Chain A
Amino acid sequence: MASTYMGKPYYPAWLDNLADDVTGEGPAWDGAIQGAAAVHEVVVAAKEIYEFQDFRYAGPCGESSFLEDYTASVRGVPLYVIVLVVFNAAGKAQRLVVNHRPRSSVLVLSRAMLERFAGTPLAKHWEGTP
C-alpha cells in the first residue's frame, strides 16, 4: 500500500511513539481502543485495508497536536480522513482520533475492520455495524 506526502513516501512517526495508555477513537467504531499494543494493531490493520494513502497535510496543529489530512480508498470506495494526534507532556501520542468520511465509506471501513478482527477481543468496537 503506497503512502505518500508531497510525492514522497510517508510514515507516521507518532505510531512508534505511543503512550502506554494511549486511546483511539473514531466515527468508524464504538468505544475507545485502549493501550499502545491495541492502538498500534488497529492502526496497522487499517493501513493494510487502505488501498493507498495520499496525504495533503501532515504537520503540527496547535501547541501539542499533530494533524494528518489524507485521501484513501477501501474496497474501491473513496475515503477521506483527518487524524488528530494529541501528545502528552512527555511528547508521546496520548490520544488518537481518526475521522473518516463520508458516512457510506465509514460503514464500509467499519465492516472491513469487523471482518479483520472477528473472533478477537477488539471485534467489539465494530460489532453491530449496520
Chain B
Amino acid sequence: MTYMGKPYYPLWLDNLADDVTLEAAAMDGTACGAEDVRFILGKAREQYEHQEFNYAGPCGESGFLEDYSSSVRGMPTYVVVLVSFNANGQTQHVVVNHRPRSAMLQFSRVMLETFSGTPHAKHWEGTP
C-alpha cells in the first residue's frame, strides 16, 4: 500500500465514531457502528492484491478523499473513498466507490463469500 512511493495507512480507520456509517457502490444498505464498520473495512482491505494511491488528503471543509488503484482476484479495480469527520474530528461517514461495474460486482460477490452466514451478508446478498 503506497502513496507517492511511500507506505500509506488510512489513519481515519483508527478514529471511527461510535455511530459511524459505511455505504458503498458494491453494497446495499448501510453498515452502522464502529465495530461493524471496522470489521467490514478490514475484510475488504484483505481482498485487495495491492493499493496504489493517486491522492490521499483533505477534501472540502471536513472531509478526506482517497483515490487509488487496486486489483481483486486479478481484476483491475479503481476506488474513490470519501470520509466525513464529525465536530470531534472522528470518522462519521465513509463512502467507498469501486469501479468499473464489472469490478464492482465482482467485489460484491467476493464480500458475499467472505460474510456468508453472518449478519453482515445482507449487504451483498442478491448480487448478480
Contact = CB atoms under 8 A, between A and B. Distances in A.
Contact of A101 (B25, B59, B105): B25
A78 to B, nearest CB: 11
Contacts of B10: none
A63 B124 CA distance: 35
B82 interface: yes
Given A57-B60, A62-B58, A101-B23, A27 B82 contact: no
B3 interface: no
Contact of B60 (A27, A67, A101): A67
Interface residues of B, number: 32
A25 B104 contact: no
B5 to A, nearest CB: 19
Interface string A68-84: 01000000000010101
B97 A27 contact: yes
Contacts of B44: none
Interface in B43-73: 55, 57-60, 63, 65, 67
Contacts, number: 97
B102 A30 contact: yes
B117 interface: no
A26 B105 contact: no
Interface in A84-121: 84, 97, 99-104, 106-107, 110
A25 B63 CA distance: 22
Contacts of A130: 105, 128
A67 B59 contact: yes
Contact of A30 (B80, B100, B126): B100
22 contacts: A25-B100, A26-B101, A27-B25, A27-B98, A27-B100, A30-B102, A82-B80, A82-B82, A97-B80, A99-B80, A99-B97, A100-B25, A101-B23, A101-B24, A101-B95, A102-B24, A103-B25, A103-B27, A103-B105, A103-B108, A110-B101, A130-B105
